Amino acid sequence: MKYKIAVVGLGYVGLPLAHAFSSKYEVVGFDIASWRVDELNRGIDRTLELDKVQMQDGLDNGMLFSTNLEDIQDCNIYIVTVPTPIDSSNKPDLTPLIKSSQSVGKVLKKDDIVIYESTVYPGVTEEICVPELESLSGLKFNEDFYCGYSPERINPGDKEHTVTKILKVTAGSTPEIANIVDTLYKSIIKAGTFKASSIKVAEASKVIENTQRDVNIALINELALIFDTMGIDTAEVIEAASTKWNFIKLKAGLVGGHCIGVDPYYLTHKAQELGYKPNLILGARQINNGMSRYIAEKTIKKMIVNDKKINNSSVLILGLTFKEDCPDTRNSKVFDIIDELVDYGCIVDAYDPWIDKKDIDETNFTFIENPFNLSKKYDSIVVAVSHKEFIAIGRDEYETISTGEAVLIDIKGIIDNPTWRL
């Protein structure tokens, strides 16, 4: 059978996937954001997941991008890669998933296959998405159309573990469809595939990947709080402990981004609906969410010790993204540090060479150009992200933009002799 693939959602996950499939299949990328589609059709990817050469290769392969449902109505494989965020109460927000399912339902035809890649709790594909597909299409699930699930494993900004180099979990709504979905992905995934026994198993496998990491980091963060109280360097403790062969070496720090800081809430939501309270997972979330406030409080305390005024003090934040060397600010906990500092009366400037000023909401801070090229001086400097540009900065350079003795807060362990290090 000849496949024509529609990739619905063209962000950090959808675009690289569309590019990978375009090497072997006819691909149309669909997104509701007209500015995004316009940029992609001009060969521009602001997420930096694809460079200009890769973008041109995809376009040369016939890869098209559109906001018009008519352009994907003749596809027979629909792959949904929209985000699955949480709301202000940390509850799953399935709105993007539901709306994209409704869009696909409007063009769904007999024997089509809809594959979901979005991270969800077990049951969402068949209990939430399928009814939307049936309602809009008038077709019957597992008789007229079918579904698959293959959770995304993209790591934003990672140029080594790209989509075709990461082993892919696959699943289908029937044994036959599971084989088709697995074969489809296997045709482009060099690392191979793992066929799960059901869609729910595949959904669960994805959501626990990030939940496990969240819990592990929470342990290290709690240890960091304990050791900081004791006056012990956490990094040195971790280095010593990691000499044991089975010790998992992780660093303390902020837990943001669209995956690790979000996905556990999908699992805990479903667990609590079923009457089980996942205390360990929720406790880990509480610890990790509290790190921004702890860092802000330490910054204020160190400024007081160094006779720095707090009200109307000037604080510089270096780095706003949720991780190093990428422009992704989704759920970045650095903004929470800024909020806390502003509550103390600080005036905050922020610099990040990976971000375009027009993409930032400067509600309570000022986004500036490279501060080392300016004349302004700061009462405190918080290095929040380990961008390669910041790793290259020597301690002496921080002194040149500091008022008096520098108060340097190092969250990422990249400064020599900081005032305080997490």
Catalytic residues: 259
Structure tokens belonging to residue 308: 């720095």
- Tell me how far CA of residue 401 lies from CA of 114, 315, 317, 409, in angstroms: 55, 11, 13, 14
Cβ atoms within 10 A of the Cβ of 236, count? 10
Closest CA to 40 of 28, 116, 258, 162: 28
Residues sharing a CB contact under 8 Å with residue 126, sequence separation 6 or more, in sequence order: 141, 147, 173, 199, 200
Burial class of 85 by CB neighbour count within 10 A (0 to 12, 13 to 18, 19+): middle
What one-character-per-residue DSSP string does 181-211 give? HHHHHHTT-TT-EEE-SSHHHHHHHHHHHHH
Terminal-to-terminal C-alpha distance of the chain: 56
**Sign of the dihedral defined by the CA atoms of residues 181, 186, 187, 189, in that order:** positive
> Is the separation of the CB atoms in 41 and 74 below 8 Å?
no
- Bridge pairing between strands 168-172 and 193-195: parallel
How many angstroms separate the CA atoms of 221 and 215, rounded?
10
